[in-house]
Amino acid sequence: MQNLFLILGVFCLLIIQDISGSQQPNILLVVADDYGFHDIGYHGSEILTPTLDKLAGEGVKLENYYVQPICSPTRSQLLSGRYQIHTGLQHAIIWPCQPNALPLEDPTLADKLRQTGYATHAVGKWHLGFYKEEYLPINRGFDSYFGYLTGSEDYFKHDTCNFLTKEKYCGIDMTQGRSPDITETGKYSTHLFTERAIDIVKNHNKSKPLFLYMPYQAVHEPLEVPAKYMNPYEFIQDENRRTYAGMVSCLDEGVKNLTNAFQEAGLWDNTILIFTTDNGGLIYSGGNNWPLRGWKATLWEGGVHGIGFVHSQLLKQKGVVNKDLIHVSDWFPTIINLAGGSLNDTKPDGFDQWKTISEGEVGKRTELLHNIDPIYYHRGSRVSPNKFDTRIRTALRLGDWKLMTGDPGNGSWIAPPEIHNESRLDPSPKDKNVWLFNIPKDPNENHDLSEEYPDIVDKMLDRLSYYSQTAVPVRFPEADPNCNPALRGGVWGPWG
Ligand X SMILES: *[C@@H]1O[C@H](CO)[C@@H](O)[C@H](O)[C@H]1NC(C)=O
Which residues are tagged catalytic? 71, 127
Query: Which position among 133, 167, 422, 431 is part of the footprint of ligand X (CB under 6 A)?
Result: 422
Tell how strand 401-405 and strand 434-438 pair up.
antiparallel
Whether the Cβ atoms of residue 214 and residue 223 lie closer than 8 Å to each other: no
CB of 209 to ligand X, least distance (A): 12
Task: Count other Cβ atoms within 10 Å, centred on residue 447.
Answer: 12
Question: CA-CA distance, 347 to 83, in Å (whole number)?
Answer: 10
Piece of the chain touching ligand X by CB under 6 A; list 82-90, 123-131, 189-197, 209-217: 189-197
Looking only at residues 290 through 329 of this chain, which bind ligand X when binding is defined by CB under 6 A?
none
CB of 459 to ligand X, least distance (A): 30
Sheet containing 320-322: order of strands: 179-180, 175-176, 144-148, 119-125, 210-215, 26-32, 271-277, 308-311, 60-62, 320-322
CB-wise, 80 or 162, nearer to ligand X?
Answer: 80
Question: CA-CA distance, 184 to 267, in Å (whole number)?
Answer: 28
Piece of the chain touching ligand X by CB under 6 A; list 34-42, 71-79, 246-254, 463-471: 246-254
CB-wise, 220 or 397, nearer to ligand X?
Answer: 220
Query: Which position among 194, 270, 329, 353 is part of the footprint of ligand X (CB under 6 A)?
Result: 194
Q: CB within 8 A of 341, min separation 6: which ones? A: 112, 113, 115, 116
CB-wise, 420 or 447, nearer to ligand X?
Answer: 420
Contact between 482 and ligand X by CB under 6 A: the answer reads no
Cα diameter, the chain: 86
Task: Count other Cβ atoms within 10 Å, centred on residue 365.
Answer: 18
Question: CA-CA distance, 236 to 246, in Å (whole number)?
Answer: 11
Residues that contact ligand X, how many (by CB under 6 A):
20
Contact between 212 and ligand X by CB under 6 A: the answer reads no
Query: Which position among 342, 384, 470, 482 is part of the footprint of ligand X (CB under 6 A)?
Result: 342
Closest CA to 277 of 248, 257, 298: 248
Contact between 257 and ligand X by CB under 6 A: the answer reads yes
Question: CA-CA distance, 36 to 157, in Å (whole number)?
Answer: 25
Piece of the chain touching ligand X by CB under 6 A; list 90-98, 100-108, 399-407, 415-423: 415-423
Which residues are 369's β-sheet partners? 396
- The contact mask relative to ligand X for 138-177 (x = CB under 6 A, - = no) is ----------------------------------------
Contact between 345 and ligand X by CB under 6 A: the answer reads yes
Contact between 419 and ligand X by CB under 6 A: the answer reads yes
Contact between 231 and ligand X by CB under 6 A: the answer reads no
**Chain contacts with ligand X (rule: CB under 6 A):** 115, 190-191, 194, 205, 207, 250, 253-254, 257, 342, 344-345, 410, 412, 419, 421-422, 425-426
